[in-house]
Structure 1
Amino acid sequence: MAVSAISRRIESFSQQSRIKAGSLITSLLGDVVVPRGGRIWLGSLIDLLEPMGLNERLVRTTVFRLVRDGWLESKPLGRRTDYLLSPTGSKRIEKAAKSIYASSHPNWDRRWRLIMVVGDLSAKDRDRLRKALIWQGFGVLGGNCFVHPSADLTVAFDGLVRDGLGDLLKKLKPLMAAGPGALSSAASDVDMVNAAWDLDQLAQMYRDFLSRYQPILSQCQTAGDTVTAQQAFVARVLLIHDYRRLLLRDPMLPDVLQPMNWPGQQARLLCGELYRRLLPASEQFLDRHYQLADGSTPVFIDVLQERFREADPLPLTG
């Protein structure tokens, strides 16, 4: 049953030994809070996250940290407090949404984005930098060069600051480089890809995503009316959360540089199809449980119907 498929995913997530609360709340902010005005009462946020295994103390601590880091602002109203996305947080969410909800990759301008280390770094700082940029989808060339086909370098540097690496920026140089063009003796773009990324590992992560959510989609296609509104809401948040974290690791290679039978596109199609099926019931749940500090429920702005709009529906599977 669809109920059991969704329940298994919810249980599996909530029983993780360590849930990254900040990442999950960021996913919820972008997918749920933004379409309702970018503002939510803290008590409502706590209630919405409880089925995913986050307790009140963890939510409060994480929200305070997001305020400290510039993602959120607080607006007290009597004994209650609303939290809303700051201008900086809104820009960050908007940029992430362009990758999450797009139906396909944008055309490539055939220019590579590079971040060069131009100063001495300790082994610890070099490792921290490498991990942070890999999580932004950058590939590694040697020990002093990070490469990406389309990243916004300003956003990449902002991400390093957000990760506590702002003190390293003075030792980093952002650059743009064209592909080999007519220089036939130069390394090709494909050579660059093969040297910079472990695409086998990323492909396996995509296959794991497909095996995790295909049963839910299959059952929604055949027995969607058995899914409760709350289950649809939780499944939707976890779907976008898992997909967003995958995209953080994905260099978003243009089609001409992707390996044959790349599972990333199949994951994008599945995510779009399942999202569209979960959206109506999940919004019904939010109509009943999403509140601001004054007790009102902000209206859902139907922009999400436009997301994944060009993705073709997947075939019915048994």
Structure 2
Amino acid sequence: MDKKYVAAYIRQNGLERMTKEDALKITHLNIAFCKYNDEGKLDSKVKNFHILDKIKEWNPDLKAIISIGGWSNGGYSEAASTEESRKAFAKEAVEFMIKHNLDGLDLDWEYPCCSISGIKSSPNDKENFTLLLKAMRDELNLQGEKDNKYYMLTIAAGADKYYTKFTNMGEAQKYLDYIMLMTYDLRGGFQILSGHHTNLYSPQGDIFTISADEAVKIFVEAGVPAEKLLIGAAFYSRKWDKVPNVNNGYLQVCGTTGAFGPDYTELDREYINKNGYKRYWDDVAKAPYLFNGSSFISYDDEESVKYKCEYVKENNLKGILFWLYDADETGKLLHSISENLEA
């Protein structure tokens, strides 16, 4: 069996606290984020690229990749709109990559043909998205010929039919090394119905039936080989408040939407079977949740991550990604991923 990938999204704080033990458990490090600034140039909030030298000394096989985009970061519809703008974007991105001694590019355009995050979009994004990826792959190949090195190109993709509807994934995947399915935030910020936000399987009785398993099937049906897919784990939670004390808070119409909740560091310290919160397990969805009588929290833990790893191996997927390394100072979730992917 081929070695499975463990792709970790990381920000500045994460780079500062990365340990040798953790670096050896990760295969790909996605540095978040690089985006367009007000001058229309690529810029990054991360200032600790020099730390990568030490991390790569610990794990010479690790690939460091810059992630371009993220929620509410725009400019990509415009960049993809013409052949000239696509080539300019690709050239600038590769120059940024080389400047910081990185191994590839990851495009997190959220989302083509859609302005939900407050960015500009166009119906032409569907075709232009593929053309932008081709331009990026061509520029990476040119740089690779100069450096005698292969540079990677990946994307993070929304894990539902809207994403395959707004893109031509069967064509786009030809230019990509792998596709990371964001199988977290499957519900939350837009829903007042409590439930799982990072479940492996679709739960019973839930009108929002999307899951990691469903996402994989959607992308395979759209023409993406299973061996190019990674599914996501969440090192943070979604939390609903003003929840009716019925059915342990599960599938209840709440007084709030599912906002971002505590990260796993805080969950482990203050919430899981503590301070009035009780952990419950959904054996159909393979997902845990917490309830204290009025607040419902959906999250990933060591057990749910184990099932995701088993799914990756059983279905010949490329591996697992997670958001966000910075969010678990206990190291428990990464340890579970590393242990169970290799088992």
Using structure 1 for the length normalisation, give the TM-score.
0.27
Q: Which has the higher strand share?
A: 2
| Larger RCO, structures 1/2 (Cα 8 Å, 6+ apart) | 1
Q: Greater CA radius of gyration, 1 or 2?
A: 1
